[in-house]
Amino acid sequence: MEFIFIRHGQGEHLNDYPNRLNTPHLSFTEYGKFQVTSYENEIKIAMDVSLFKF
């Protein structure tokens, strides 16, 4: 079995740290959006949907 850990992109809560830590529903910073799209282009994972059947 293989485990892959993927960190999410930088969030807006880091722009005014620590004052925005409890603000709900923050989005990604522009840099965070860049990180996510670059991860998406670099990492291709074939999902076996049979693993999610109960």
Gap between the Cα atoms of 49 and 25, Å rounded: 29
Among 4, 13, 15, 14, smallest CA distance to 39 is for 4
Please say whether the beta carbons of 21 and 42 come within 8 A: no
For the chain, 54 residues long, give each residue's pLDDT as a single digit of tens: 777 777 778 888 888 888 888 888 888 899 988 988 887 777 776 666 555 554
The angle subtended at Cα 40 by Cα 29 and Cα 48, nearest 5°, is 130
Q: Distance between alpha carbon 48 and the CA centroid of its chain, in Å?
A: 21
- Residue 30: the pLDDT is 93
